[in-house]
């Protein structure tokens, strides 16, 4: 098997900007050193050239005999596959034997052998089959080498053996290069997969964390998110000497709404509160559902007086909401942290909660929205 032109296999192997010899770091010095190691010198080259005319005259018979043996091996016959491929293999083998017995083991010859190895590797010829075919070819050539010239054939047979080993080692180099490249490609793909998996896990973790901070019904922040964010914003408020106002909001007659119209109506009212909070909030404001019908908003960098502007936006939205069934109103309380003063989050929450209950008492008396003026803490 020896098809330089048959290339059905892997694409993108190695560096496209380098030759195979460059990828394998085979320089002219290295090529000559390899010839020296295999004992393939001028004497051996001359011995092969002495056989050239006889081999060339009998190429068809030599090649046909070789491939008759190859075709009888099921694994090889399966790889060859069709008559066109077999014809190309015959032509390639003829070229190879012509080059082999010219005895010129130069850079071009070595590049051709490397290319043959890469092609056979790419089309899936196992190395054991290739090595076996080389042994078969050498055995097929020996009688022709013996008959090429009168006299003792030992030197010619030795030269043939050394040349075949030299060729085989070049081919095996490209087999190893293909394996190394496949390993590197697999490593690269594995690293890319690991990176993508890490990003997926990171994104999924972020989503799960975000979900753990969101109220499932209203999609506002939940109780956990509120306490985490409040401590962070209060620390920033104290550090930067900025005011911070906390708003607590509760629905009036919410239980009566649930009892008379059902929990779906109650859930709808809670969602309407969330819509109004989102409309009333600025980009820097943070809104939450603490549970039941209790909501709160953190107004960063906002004094108590400015907080009432937020309440105006909120109550205006609530009054104009499409679903106004059940006579539900809101009670709102406020508490502001004094800028630059250390205040515990619990104290600010307590003040806002007390303000809301004062607003709720007013709402019960007036049957309208309850708004408390709020307190300044610290």
Residue whose entry in the numeric block shows the structure tokens 């005259």: 57
CA atoms of 24 and 34, how far apart (whole Å): 13
Evaluated on CA atoms 264, 266, 267, 268, the torsion sign reads positive
Residue whose entry in the numeric block shows the structure tokens 């056979």: 120
> Do residues 316 and 247 lie in contact, with contact meaning Cβ atoms separated by under 8 Å?
no
Catalytic residue among 293, 312, 347, 353: 293
Strand partners, 299: 245
CA distances from 93 to 77, 82, 118 (A): 16, 17, 16
Q: Which two tokens mark 31?
A: 């090529």
User: Which residues make Cβ contacts (< 8 Å) with residue 270, sequence separation at least 6?
Assistant: 217, 218, 251, 289, 293
CA angle 81, 57, 61 (to 5 degrees): 35
- Clarify whether 82 is annotated catalytic: no
What are the DSSP calls for 211-240, one per residue? HHTB-TTT-SB-HHHHHHHHHHHHHHHHHH
At residue 12, the 3 state secondary structure works out as: coil
Catalytic positions: 293
């Amino acid at each position: 098997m020896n098809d330089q032109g048959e290339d059905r296999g892997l694409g993108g192997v190695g560096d496209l900007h380098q030759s195979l010899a460059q990828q394998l770091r085979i320089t002219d010095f290295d090529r000559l050193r390899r010839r020296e190691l295999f004992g393939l010198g001028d004497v051996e080259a001359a011995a092969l050239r002495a056989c050239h005319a006889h081999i060339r005259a009998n190429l068809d018979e030599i090649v046909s005999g070789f491939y008759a043996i190859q075709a009888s091996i099921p694994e090889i016959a399966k790889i060859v596959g069709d008559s066109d491929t077999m014809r190309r293999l015959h032509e390639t083998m003829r070229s190879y034997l012509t080059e082999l017995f010219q005895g010129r083991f130069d850079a071009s010859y070595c590049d051709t052998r490397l290319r043959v190895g890469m092609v056979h590797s790419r089309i899936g010829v196992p190395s054991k089959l290739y090595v076996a075919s080389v042994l078969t070819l050498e055995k097929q050539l020996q009688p022709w080498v013996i008959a090429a010239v009168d006299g003792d054939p030992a030197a010619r047979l030795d030269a043939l053996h050394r040349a075949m080993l030299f060729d085989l080692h070049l081919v095996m180099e490209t087999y190893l290069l293909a394996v190394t490249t496949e390993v590197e490609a697999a490593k690269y793909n594995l690293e890319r997969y690991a990176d993508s998996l890490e990003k997926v896990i990171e994104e999924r973790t972020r989503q799960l964390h975000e979900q753990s901070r969101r109220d499932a019904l209203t999609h506002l922040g939940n109780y956990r998110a509120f306490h985490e964010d409040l401590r962070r914003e209060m620390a920033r408020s104290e550090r930067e000497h900025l005011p911070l106002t906390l708003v607590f909001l509760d629905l009036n007659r919410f239980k009566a709404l649930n009892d008379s119209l059902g929990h779906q109506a109650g859930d709808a009212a809670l969602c309407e509160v969330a819509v109004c909070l989102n409309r009333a909030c600025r980009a820097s404001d943070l809104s939450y559902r603490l549970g039941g019908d209790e909501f709160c908003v953190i107004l960063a960098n906002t004094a108590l007086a400015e907080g009432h502007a937020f309440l105006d936006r909120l109550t205006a939205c609530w009054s104009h909401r499409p679903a106004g069934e059940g006579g539900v109103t809101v009670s709102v309380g406020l508490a502001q942290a004094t800028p630059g003063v250390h205040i515990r989050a619990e104290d600010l929450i307590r003040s806002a909660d007390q303000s809301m209950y004062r607003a709720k008492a007013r709402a019960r008396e007036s049957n309208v929205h309850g708004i408390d003026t709020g307190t300044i803490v610290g």
